[in-house]
Amino acid sequence: MPQNPRNQDTYDAVVVGSGAGGGTAVQVLIEKGLKVALLEAGPMLDPRTEFKEHKWPSDYDHRGAEEGGAQYFGKGKPFGFFSTTSGGWQLEGEPYTVGEGSQFQWFRSRILGGRTNHYGRMSFRFAEYDFKPHDKDGLGTNWPISYQDIAPYYDKAEEFIGVCGTQENVASCPDGKFHTAPPPKVHEALIKKACDKLGIICIANRRAIITKALNGRAPCHYCGQCGRGCQTASAYSSAQVQVFPAMKSGRLKIFDLAMVREVLMDGNGKATGILFIDKKTRTEQIIRAKTVILAASACESTRILLNSKTKEFPNGIGNGSGLLGRFLMDTVGFGLSGYVPAMEGMPHYDTDGYGGAHLFMPWWLWDQHKKLDFPRGYHIEIGGGYGMPGVGSYHGAARRYGYGADMKKQIRDGYGAAIAFAGRGEMIPNDHSYCEIDPNVVDRWGIPVLKFHFKWSDHEWRQARHMEKTFADIITTMGGRVSGLSAAQREADGISVPGTIIHEVGGARMGTSAKNSVLNGYCQSHEVKNLFVMDGASFVSNPDKNPTLTINALAWRACDYMAEELRKGNV
């Protein structure tokens, strides 16, 4: 039983998690005048100390060499020392398990803003056909909502968080409300030329980065270091763009280092609040609220629901369908790199722009699936160019090129001649991919952990082979040669390890009834009317578009609905 409830207030809403879903919920509900409690398992964020955007490799000891430098390459910090992770594939004291015969990796952040502090900010709308996949090819399940339902919320989300891009009228990737996109870099212009020859659409990237001032945020100053966090908040993070401004209202109370264990119920089918463990005092605490919003990330919200058991809901609250945890999905990933001699020894030019690619390729064969041996599409992300060499770059150069002037010339000539492609494809949900509570393991807070089961089907494998051929075709059309396997290919023989694209969604999908789903089209529990799940758990399918913009839009739409229901006294 709770030992020390520390808060006697009752809130209009308690929001669990401060990432894309929770940050949007906080922003929208505070704008509506509600009193909100935000519970976050990680600490508060201080961008001044956490973000290493303008640090040079020379600012640090070791510069990646020897044992002391190992931290720069992911030891203790995935994606390296400079990345704004505050999390990782494994969190000390917070394990998860994986069923026999499965592979799954779960990337979690523990800090205000969650994974939005360092995500890639690729921001693509789902297409109209993405909401009705079963109608298209008889596979998977339709969403209970359509593109028309969510389109106004894509508009709102894009306008508020700021997304740059261009109007293109491509059916697989609807246009949005964009800031001006920066022009392509030289290697990207060459890639586009090859794509034009191959009939592959190649257009300006769509990233949650602003190129004109917005709500007090400065436009991008093109330092190119987005993966390290953006001190000027020119790149979206929910902490900087949504939570910090909401704090000024005086109606938002943040409980950080608050690890939520379960949703509390009143015995009459209504949620009454949240039980969490205060990490600072290791005591159990309660927050009471009229509505409960879970936005702890898809799998974590699912875990909280599965761990919330009552007499009416012995298998987890809102789980009358028995589908809680089912239809877990990740994005299909495959990568290939190439070396293009035509770009060797070019005069080095200024690669002004934001960090990462300025172009991408949306799925270009959306109306030609009958001719393909796989049912769903993918988009292509680009790597390459003259980014600042990272810590430890060219450590192996002496081994390869010897020493002296010749080594320097080889490095300079080859610099910028390497390119890379990463495919991001749709997975069709299947019965073998799900998560459940592991009955034998608890985390350091005494909370039962998740156990993952996952399987790619032939659909995904065949799609990955198409990616491989396409990337090789682009590289050779540029006059280059395929030079390297992606980590994904090395590790899993041709397809990404499930979970590693970090687009895990599903687990509490939305649908038309309490029999076929956990939530309705407003992310509201069918069975507990004042309970909402506003992260990727609600996804019915996982189109090839990265999920975060859709999480923002769905959360915004759900909050509009929830506030109105609250006003009418329906929840």
Site for ligand FAD, rule CB under 6 A: 16-22, 39-42, 107, 109-110, 114-116, 118-122, 258-260, 295-297, 300, 304, 502-503, 535-536, 546-548, 551
CA distance 22 to 215: 20
CB contact at 8 A, 134 and 140 = yes
**CA distance to 75, 151, 394, 543, per residue, from 147 (Å):** 42, 6, 47, 13
**Residue 16 CB, nearest distance to ligand FAD (Å)?**
5
Residue 223 as a binder of ligand SF4 (CB under 6 A): the answer is yes
Work out which of 75, 134, 212, 221 binds ligand SF4, going by CB under 6 A.
Answer: 221
User: Which backbone phi and psi does 466 adopt, to 5 degrees?
Assistant: -65, -40
CA distance 443 to 450: 10
Residue 230 binding target from ligand FAD, ligand SF4, none, CB below 5 to 8 Å by type? ligand SF4
Name which of 95 and 387 has its Cβ closer to ligand SF4: 387
Binding mask 342-361 for ligand SF4 (x = CB under 6 A): ------------xx------
Q: Which stretch binds ligand SF4 (CB under 6 A): 221-229, 246-254, 323-331, 402-410?
A: 221-229
Question: Which residue in this structure is represented by tokens 């292509």?
Answer: 380
Name which of 89 and 222 has its Cβ closer to ligand SF4: 222
Residue 187 binding target from ligand SF4, ligand FAD, none, CB below 5 to 8 Å by type? none
Q: Which stretch binds ligand SF4 (CB under 6 A): 216-224, 367-375, 416-424, 521-529?
A: 216-224
Q: Which of residues 235-274 bind ligand SF4 (CB under 6 A)?
A: 235
Residue 107 binding target from ligand SF4, ligand FAD, none, CB below 5 to 8 Å by type? ligand FAD
Cα angle: 245, vertex 534, 519; to 5 degrees: 155
CA distance 255 to 43: 9
Residue 225 as a binder of ligand SF4 (CB under 6 A): the answer is yes
Name which of 5 and 57 has its Cβ closer to ligand SF4: 57
C-alpha R_g of the chain: 23
Residue 223 binding target from ligand FAD, ligand SF4, none, CB below 5 to 8 Å by type? ligand SF4
Name which of 54 and 490 has its Cβ closer to ligand SF4: 54
Kindly state the tokens that stand for 290. 């009229």
Residue 53 binding target from ligand SF4, ligand FAD, none, CB below 5 to 8 Å by type? ligand SF4
CA distance 250 to 257: 20
Name which of 232 and 477 has its Cβ closer to ligand SF4: 232
Q: What is the dihedral of CA 459, 463, 465, 466, to 10 degrees?
A: 140
Name which of 301 and 525 has its Cβ closer to ligand FAD: 301
Name which of 344 and 491 has its Cβ closer to ligand FAD: 491
Q: Which of residues 389-418 bind ligand SF4 (CB under 6 A)?
A: none
Name which of 121 and 376 has its Cβ closer to ligand FAD: 121
Q: What is the dihedral of CA 514, 515, 519, 521, to 10 degrees?
A: -90
Work out which of 53, 158, 535, 544 binds ligand SF4, going by CB under 6 A.
Answer: 53
Residue 232 binding target from ligand SF4, ligand FAD, none, CB below 5 to 8 Å by type? ligand SF4
For residue 7, the 8-state DSSP code is: -
Q: Is 329 left (phi over 0), alpha (psi -120 to 50) or beta?
A: beta
CB contact at 8 A, 524 and 271 = no
- Positive or negative, the CA dihedral 343, 344, 350, 356 is positive
Residue 475 as a binder of ligand SF4 (CB under 6 A): the answer is no
**CA distance to 229, 241, 373, 413, 503, per residue, from 86 (Å):** 11, 19, 41, 36, 18
Name which of 24 and 117 has its Cβ closer to ligand SF4: 117
Residue 209 binding target from ligand FAD, ligand SF4, none, CB below 5 to 8 Å by type? ligand SF4
Kindly state the tokens that stand for 255. 């409980």
Name which of 185 and 279 has its Cβ closer to ligand FAD: 279
Residue 226 as a binder of ligand SF4 (CB under 6 A): the answer is yes
Residue 226 binding target from ligand FAD, ligand SF4, none, CB below 5 to 8 Å by type? ligand SF4
Give the SS3 label for residue 159. helix
Going by C-alpha positions, the residue among 300, 282, 276, 332 that lies closest to residue 96 is: 300
Residue 165 binding target from ligand SF4, ligand FAD, none, CB below 5 to 8 Å by type? none
- Contacts of residue 112, defined as CB under 8 A and 6 or more positions apart, other chains included, come to 18, 40, 42, 43, 44, 45, 239, 243, 254, 256
Residue 232 as a binder of ligand SF4 (CB under 6 A): the answer is yes
CB contact at 8 A, 121 and 235 = yes
**In the 3-class helix/strand/coil scheme, how is 454-499 assigned residue by residue?**
CCCCHHHHHHHHHHHHHHHHHHHHCCCEEEEECHHHHHHCCCCCCC
Q: How many residues does the chain have?
A: 571
Name which of 147 and 339 has its Cβ closer to ligand FAD: 147
Work out which of 69, 165, 224, 429 binds ligand SF4, going by CB under 6 A.
Answer: 224
**Residue 210 CB, nearest distance to ligand SF4 (Å)?**
8
CA distance 324 to 313: 12
Name which of 241 and 295 has its Cβ closer to ligand FAD: 295
Which residues of this protein are in contact with ligand SF4, per CB under 6 A?
53, 209, 220-226, 230, 232, 234-235, 354-355
